[in-house]
Amino acid sequence: MTEPTKWVFAFEEGDGKDKKLLGGKGANLCEMTQIGLNVPPGFVISTEACLAYLDMPDRSLPPGVMDQVHEQMAALERKTGKGFGDPDNPLLVSVRSGSAMSMPGMMDTILNLGLNEDTLQGEIKATGDSRFGYDSYRRFIQLFGKVALGVPDELFDREFEVVKEHAHAKQDVDLSANDLKEISERFLKVVEEHTGKPFPSDPMQQLEIAVKAVFNSWMGKRAVDYRNQFHITPEMANGTAVNVCTMVFGNRGDDSATGVGFTRNPGTGENELYGEYLINAQGEDVVAGIRTPKPLARLSVEMPEMGRQLGELRDKLESHYREVQDFEFTIERGVLYCLQTRNGKMNAAAMVRTSVEMEKQGYITKDQALQRVEPISLEQMLFPRLDPNAKTAPVAEGLPASPGAAAGIAVFDADRAEQLGKDLGQDVILVREETKPEDIHGFFAAKGILTSRGGKTSHAAVVARGMGKPCVAGAEGISVDVTRREAMVGGTTFKEGDLITIDGSNGYVYIGAIPTVDPEFTTELSTLLEWADEASRLEVLANADTPDDARLARKYGANGIGLARTERMFNAVERLPIVIEMIVAETPEQRQEALNELLPLQRKDFRELFEVMAPHPVTIRLLDPPIHEFLPDEHQLERDLADLHVLAQTTRGMTALAGTMGLLHTPENERIAFDDLRHVMDPMMVEEAIAKKTTMLRKVRSLHETNPMLGHRGVRLGISFPEIYKMQIRAILEAGAECVAAGMDVQPQIKVPQVCTKQELLRVKSYVDEIHAEVEAAYGRKVPFKFGTMIEVVRACMRAESLAEEAEFFSFGTNDLTQAVFSFSREDAENKFLPLYNRSHILQDNPFEVLDVKGAGKLMKLAVDWGRATRPDIHVGICGEHGGHPASISFCDEAGLDYVSCSGPRVPVARLAAAHAALAHKAE
Ligand code: PEP
Ligand code: MG
C-alpha cells in the first residue's frame, strides 16, 4: 500500500529550505521553530494540497487534508493547553496565504479565527475587556466575510457608519463595547443576507472555509495579474500554502507587549538592536500610530527579563541567517514569541557597514560581503540626496543624467552662472536648452545643470558626470527663454534668481529649494572597495579631463585615466579665443601661430594629469568633436549683426549729438547695448565689430555640417589639419619628457578617435614617431608612451585585425558605437522615441545607458577576438558611458576586456560591479 500523501506539516517538521512546497512564509516559520526560536505553535498546509484542490472537480479539499488538519489542531490544543471552540479557554488561530514568491496580490490575513458567540465570552473573560472582545469579533466577521465568503466591504461599512452616527461617535475609538456589540450583530446579518446562510460559527468549519479561500485566491484575478505582470512562472511559484498559527496577544496586560525590531540599525548599520514596542497592545497599534511606541532599548528597563531574551533572540537570528533581520515579536504574559523574520532592508551606508562588520565577526566571507551590496546603491554614499522628509511634487521630469541633488537659483547662461556662483558665492543651477563646450565655466560655477534638450550622452550629461555634479537633461516640458532669462514649465514661469531643485538621480525638477542630505565616503566603504579590487579581474580607470577630475578619480580609487577628452581643455575662457583663432585661420601659418600659443598650455595640462596619476597610465585622446562646436552659434551671430547695424546708426547719430551736447549715454543707448559694445560710442569701433562678426559668420557658415556627429570630426580633422594633432602630440610627449626628467614614473598613452581604417592610424602614427624622436633628442631622455585607437565606428570593429597592427590598445567608445549600430542619433533618441520604445517593450533598455549586448556587444566580442588574433597582448577596454554601468561591466568582464573607464565619481560603483562580475563568472 502506498503511503497517504502528507499535505500538512507542523512547524517542527516542515523543511525550512523547501519554499516551493511550504511557501516562503511557511518555510520560514518552520525554520524559526526548528532553530529554537519561540514561535507560536502552528502548521503549514502545502502548495501541493493547493494544486490538488484546484484540480478537484467538486472543489472539495483533497482526501486526507482535513484529517491531517484535525490531527494538527489537536496537537495545537495539546501544545497550548487551549481548546479550539472551547468557550472557557478558546484557542484562536491566524490563517495566512504564502507562496514560494512573495505576492501582495493574494489573500489578506484572517486573525482570530475560532471566534463565535461562545468563545467570544471566553476571550472577554480572559482579557477582562469586553470592548476589546467585541472589537476583535466585529473585525473577524468583516475580514472573514470579505476574504473567505466574498461579502463586499461596502455592506459592512454601511452598517458601521449607521451605528457610529447613532452613537454620535466622531472616531472609531469613541465607540463603546455596546456599540461594537451592535456592529457585530449587524455584520452577522449582513453575511447571512449576502450568502443566504448564517455566519459559520463552528471553528472547524471556519477553518475549512478559510483554507479553501486561500487556495482559491491563487487563481483570483489579483494574483493572476500579479504573476503575469512580474513574470512569475510555475517554476518559480506554483500554488500557495496556508499557514495556520496560534494567536498570541500582546494586549493581555502590562506583562504583555508587541513590537518590531531590526537586528542592526537599518539607517546607519550600527551593531545595536533597533526598533520599537508598545506595552499592552496589538501589532496593528504599533503600525496605526495611535500610541507612540518606545525604542527597544527601553524594554530592558521596563521588562528586564524580556529585554535579555530579546537580545538572545537577536543573536540567534543573526547567527543563523547571517544577515540583518527585520522581525516581529509579541510578549504574552511574560512569554516572548517571534512571529516573523526576514532579511532587513537597509540604505547603502548600512549595507556597507554591516557587510564589513559581519565579515569581521566571521558571519560571512569577503565574497559574500561584496555580493550583499548592490553596486548602484553606492551612489547614495557618493552624491547628495534630497531629504526624503522634505520632498514635494516635481514640476517637470527629464533624464537622470548625472546623479545627486542640488538646489539653487536658476541662471540661464554660463557667464551669469560664473558671476553669481563663483564671484558672489551663490548656489546656482545652470539652466540651458542644451550646453556647449563654451559653457564650461558655467559648469564650474554651478551646483547642478538642467537642460531641456539632449540625452544621457549629451555634452551636459557627460561633463556633469565627470565633475560629479547633478544633471537633469532633456526635460522637454521646460521651455527656456535665454533672452528673457526665464523658463516656462506647465503654467509656471521661473526667472533668473528663482530657487529650483534638481534631482539627477531620477530626473525630477522642483520649484523652490528642497534641503539635501550630504554623502559620506566612510572607512567601511574604503575597506569594502579594497576587497572588491582583490576579487576583480577588470581594472577600473576613469574618464577625466582636468587635474581636479583626476584627483577625484584617484580619491575614488581609479587606476589611471582611460579617457581624457582634450576638447574639454580648449574651453577655458582664456583659451577659447586662441582656439577660435586656430579654427578661423585662413593660412597654415596663421593657424600655427595660434597653435604655438596653445602648445604650452596643453603641455601644462598634460603634465598636471601625469603628475596626479603617476605611476598609472593617462590616456589622452586627440581632438574629437567637429571644430565648429567651438565657434559661436550662427543664429546668435545673425542677431548680433542686426543689433550692431542698429547700434552703428544710433552711434553715428549719438556721436554727432554728443559732439554738440557732451552727451555720452542715454537710456535708449543702454537698452540696445550688448556685451562687447556696451559703452562703445565710436562709430569706427562699431564698424570694426561688424566686420569681425561678418567674417565669423561667413566662417561659421562655411564650416556648417548637416550631420556634424558623422562629419568632419575625430581623426578626419587630424588628417585635414595635421598641425592640430601635431601640436597635441608634441604637448603630450614633452609633458611626458618633463615628468621623466623630474624622476616621475609616467605612462602617457595617445589615442586616436573615430578611426575606421588602418591608413588613418598609420598617418597619425607617422606624426607621433617623428615628434617622439625630436622630443627624445631635445630632452635627452627616453619617453615611454603607447599608441592606440578608439573603436567607435562599425568599420573599426570589422577591421580590428588590421587596426591592431598599429594600435597597442583598443578603447571601445560605446557612445558612438551604440549610435552607429542602431543608427540612432545620440542627441535625439533619448527624448524623442526611446521612452516609447522602452514602454512598449520594443527595446527593453535605453541602449545609451545599458550596453546593447546582443548587437553592439556582439560586435565588440568579434573585434576583441580579431584584435587579439593580430596582437595577443593588446590591451582592450571601454570608455563609453556604459563603462560605469553594472550590467554592462558584467558583460565587459565576460567578453574578456581588460579595463573599464568611467567618470570619476562612478569609479566606486564600477569597482564593486567589477567584483560582482568576477565572482558571478567564477561561480559559473
Ligand atoms: C564614445 O563615443 O563612447 C566616447 C567615449 O566618446 P565621446 O562620448 O566623447 O564621443
Ligand atoms: Mg566617441
Q: DSSP string spanning 444-507?
A: HH-SEEEESS--TTSHHHHHHHHHT--EEE--TTEEEETTTTEEEETTEEEETT-EEEEETTTT
Crossing angle of helices 576-584 and 588-613, rounded to 10°: 140
**Ligand positioned closest to the Cα atom of 437:** 1
Q: How far apart are the C-alpha atoms of 580 and 627, rounded to whole Å?
A: 9
Q: For atom 9 of ligand 1, which residue has the closest CA?
A: 565
Detail the DSSP E strand segments found in 642-753.
Answer: 747-752
Question: For residue 273, what is the domain's CATH number?
Answer: 3.30.470.20
118 vs 670, more confident: 118
Residue 403 lies in a domain: yes
Question: For residue 165, what is the domain's CATH number?
Answer: 1.20.80.30
Output b/e per residue, 20-31; b: 16+ Cβ within 10 A. Answer: bbbbbbbbbbbb
Crossing angle of helices 588-613 and 547-555, rounded to 10°: 20
My answer on whether 759 and 862 are in the same domain is: yes
Residue 470 lies in a domain: yes
Pairing of strands 42-45, 8-10: antiparallel
Angle at 829 between CA 823 and CA 831, to 5 degrees: 180
- Write down the pLDDT at residue 387: 87
- Write down the pLDDT at residue 673: 43
- Cα–Cα nearest to 787, from 813, 805, 812: 805
My answer on whether 721 and 572 are in the same domain is: yes
Q: For atom 6 of ligand 1, which residue has the closest CA?
A: 813
Region 125-149: mean pLDDT is 91
Question: For residue 511, what is the domain's CATH number?
Answer: 3.50.30.10
- Write down the pLDDT at residue 161: 94
My answer on whether 8 and 81 are in the same domain is: yes
Query: Distance, CA 624 to ligand 2 centroid (Å)?
Result: 8
Annotated catalytic residue within 459, 616, 772, 885: 459
The minimum-distance atom of ligand 1 relative to the CA of 753 is 6
Separate counts of helices (H) and strands (E) for the chain: 35, 31
- Write down the pLDDT at residue 747: 97
The minimum-distance atom of ligand 1 relative to the CA of 882 is 3
Which of 566, 624, 819, 848 maximizes ligand 1 atoms within 8 Å of its Cβ, making it the mutation to test the pocket? 624
Query: Distance, CA 458 to ligand 1 centroid (Å)?
Result: 10
658 vs 176, more confident: 176
Least confident of 187-191, 566-570, 868-872: 566-570
In the predicted model, is pLDDT for residue 748 greater than 60? Answer: yes
My answer on whether 78 and 226 are in the same domain is: yes
How far out from the chain centre does Cα 779 lie? 50
629 pLDDT band (50/70/90 cuts)? confident
The minimum-distance atom of ligand 1 relative to the CA of 813 is 3
AA letter at 558:
A
My answer on whether 426 and 571 are in the same domain is: no
Residue 756 catalytic? no
662 pLDDT band (50/70/90 cuts)? very low
Is the alpha carbon torsion for 440, 626, 709, 855 positive or negative? negative
74 vs 626, more confident: 74
**Ligand positioned closest to the Cα atom of 817:** 1
Question: For residue 227, what is the domain's CATH number?
Answer: 3.30.1490.20
Q: How far apart are the C-alpha atoms of 411 and 47, rounded to whole Å?
A: 61
Which of 565, 825, 849 maximizes ligand 1 atoms within 8 Å of its Cβ, making it the mutation to test the pocket? 565
Question: For residue 764, what is the domain's CATH number?
Answer: 3.20.20.60
Region 626-631: mean pLDDT is 82
520 pLDDT band (50/70/90 cuts)? confident
My answer on whether 142 and 30 are in the same domain is: no
My answer on whether 213 and 196 are in the same domain is: no
Q: How far apart are the C-alpha atoms of 27 and 15, rounded to whole Å?
A: 6
Region 337-354: mean pLDDT is 92
My answer on whether 849 and 885 are in the same domain is: yes
Is the alpha carbon torsion for 458, 459, 460, 465 positive or negative? positive
- Give me 908's grid cell: 566606486
Q: Containing H/E element for 540? A: strand 539-543
Least confident of 371-380, 484-493, 654-663: 654-663
In the predicted model, is pLDDT for residue 33 greater than 90? Answer: yes
Query: Distance, CA 794 to ligand 2 centroid (Å)?
Result: 12
Domain residues for the domain of 341 are 257-346
The minimum-distance atom of ligand 1 relative to the CA of 565 is 9
Q: For atom 1 of ligand 1, which residue has the closest CA?
A: 813
835 vs 797, more confident: 797
- Cα–Cα nearest to 358, from 521, 524, 519: 524
Residue 839 lies in a domain: yes
In the predicted model, is pLDDT for residue 656 greater than 70? Answer: no
- Write down the pLDDT at residue 109: 83
Give 266-269 contacts, CB < 8 A, sequence gap 24+. 266/324, 266/326, 266/344, 266/345, 266/346, 266/347, 266/350, 267/346, 267/347, 267/349, 267/350, 268/349, 268/350, 268/353, 269/346, 269/349, 269/350, 269/351, 269/352, 269/353, 269/354, 269/357, 269/524
Angle at 12 between CA 127 and CA 30, to 5 degrees: 85
Backbone Cα Rg of the chain: 36
In the predicted model, is pLDDT for residue 70 greater than 70? Answer: yes
Query: Distance, CA 565 to ligand 1 centroid (Å)?
Result: 9
286 pLDDT band (50/70/90 cuts)? low
570 vs 730, more confident: 730
My answer on whether 660 and 616 are in the same domain is: no
pLDDT digits (tens, 9 = 90+) for 229-257: 888 899 998 999 999 999 998 988 889 99
- Write down the pLDDT at residue 452: 92
In the predicted model, is pLDDT for residue 839 greater than 50? Answer: yes
Instruction: Tell me the CA end-to-end span of the chain in Å, nearest whole number.
Output: 44
- Write down the pLDDT at residue 422: 84
- 432 close to 480: Cβ distance less than 8 angstroms: yes
Would you call 329 helix, strand, or coil by DSSP?
Answer: strand
Which residues approach ligand 1 with their CB closer than 6 A?
A: 457, 563, 565, 624, 792, 813-816, 879-880
- Write down the pLDDT at residue 651: 72
The minimum-distance atom of ligand 1 relative to the CA of 563 is 5
**Ligand positioned closest to the Cα atom of 754:** 2
**Ligand positioned closest to the Cα atom of 819:** 1
Percent of the chain with pLDDT over 90: 70
In the predicted model, is pLDDT for residue 676 greater than 60? Answer: no
Boundary residue ending a domain (247, 282, 308): 247
- Give me 732's grid cell: 603630450
Region 324-350: mean pLDDT is 92
AA letter at 772:
H
Pairing of strands 539-543, 561-565: parallel
Q: How far apart are the C-alpha atoms of 765 and 750, rounded to whole Å?
A: 10
The count of other CB atoms within 10 Å of the CB of residue 101 is: 15
Q: Cell 514569541, residue?
A: 337
- Write down the pLDDT at residue 616: 97
Annotated catalytic residue within 50, 739, 797, 879: 879
Q: How far apart are the C-alpha atoms of 661 and 478, rounded to whole Å?
A: 48
Residue 124 lies in a domain: no
Boundary residue ending a domain (484, 517, 550): 517
pLDDT digits (tens, 9 = 90+) for 290-322: 677 889 999 999 999 999 999 999 999 999 999
- 207 close to 200: Cβ distance less than 8 angstroms: no
Query: Distance, CA 880 to ligand 1 centroid (Å)?
Result: 5
Would you call 203 helix, strand, or coil by DSSP?
Answer: helix
**Ligand positioned closest to the Cα atom of 565:** 1
My answer on whether 3 and 142 are in the same domain is: no
Query: Distance, CA 466 to ligand 2 centroid (Å)?
Result: 15
Residue 459 catalytic? yes
Which of 751, 816, 818 maximizes ligand 1 atoms within 8 Å of its Cβ, making it the mutation to test the pocket? 816
- 487 close to 494: Cβ distance less than 8 angstroms: yes
Region 118-137: mean pLDDT is 90
In the predicted model, is pLDDT for residue 150 greater than 80? Answer: yes
**Ligand positioned closest to the Cα atom of 567:** 1
My answer on whether 874 and 908 are in the same domain is: yes
Region 810-820: mean pLDDT is 97
pLDDT digits (tens, 9 = 90+) for 180-202: 999 999 999 999 999 999 999 99
Q: For atom 8 of ligand 1, which residue has the closest CA?
A: 815
Which of 458, 545, 879, 897 maximizes ligand 1 atoms within 8 Å of its Cβ, making it the mutation to test the pocket? 879
284 vs 894, more confident: 894
Torsion of CA 207, 208, 212, 214, to 10 degrees: 10
My answer on whether 54 and 156 are in the same domain is: no
In the predicted model, is pLDDT for residue 454 greater than 70? Answer: yes
- Write down the pLDDT at residue 588: 86
Q: Using CB atoms within 10 Å of the CB of residue 205, give its burial: 0 to 12 exposed, 13 to 18 middle, 19+ buried.
A: exposed
Query: Distance, CA 723 to ligand 2 centroid (Å)?
Result: 22
The minimum-distance atom of ligand 1 relative to the CA of 815 is 3
Please report the DSSP string for 804-831 in residue order: TTT-SEEEE-HHHHHHHHHT--TTTGGG
In the predicted model, is pLDDT for residue 678 greater than 50? Answer: no
Mean of all residue pLDDT scores within the chain: 91
Q: How far apart are the C-alpha atoms of 417 and 440, rounded to whole Å?
A: 10
- Write down the pLDDT at residue 597: 95
In the predicted model, is pLDDT for residue 430 greater than 80? Answer: yes
Q: How far apart are the C-alpha atoms of 819 and 643, rounded to whole Å?
A: 39
Statement: the pTM of the whole predicted model exceeds 0.95: no
Region 642-648: mean pLDDT is 86
In the predicted model, is pLDDT for residue 793 greater than 80? Answer: yes
3 pLDDT band (50/70/90 cuts)? confident
- Write down the pLDDT at residue 663: 44
Is the alpha carbon torsion for 468, 473, 478, 481 positive or negative? positive
Boundary residue ending a domain (704, 733, 750): 704
Q: For atom 10 of ligand 1, which residue has the closest CA?
A: 816
Output b/e per residue, 45-65; b: 16+ Cβ within 10 A. Answer: bbbbbbbbbeeeeeeebbeeb
Is the backbone peptide bond immediately before 615 cis, with ω within 30 degrees of 0?
Answer: yes
Query: Distance, CA 754 to ligand 1 centroid (Å)?
Result: 9
Would you call 407 helix, strand, or coil by DSSP?
Answer: strand
The count of other CB atoms within 10 Å of the CB of residue 823 is: 8
Query: Distance, CA 790 to ligand 2 centroid (Å)?
Result: 8
Region 108-129: mean pLDDT is 90
Q: How far apart are the C-alpha atoms of 431 and 451, rounded to whole Å?
A: 6
Region 350-356: mean pLDDT is 97
The minimum-distance atom of ligand 1 relative to the CA of 819 is 2
Q: How many domains in the chain?
A: 6
Q: How far apart are the C-alpha atoms of 719 and 725, rounded to whole Å?
A: 8
Query: Distance, CA 816 to ligand 2 centroid (Å)?
Result: 5
Length of the chain: 924
Residue 397 lies in a domain: yes
Which of 456, 545, 567, 790 maximizes ligand 1 atoms within 8 Å of its Cβ, making it the mutation to test the pocket? 790
835 vs 884, more confident: 884
Going by the DSSP 8-state scheme, the letter that residue 82 receives in this structure is: -
Q: Cell 564650474, residue?
A: 444
Residue 360 lies in a domain: no
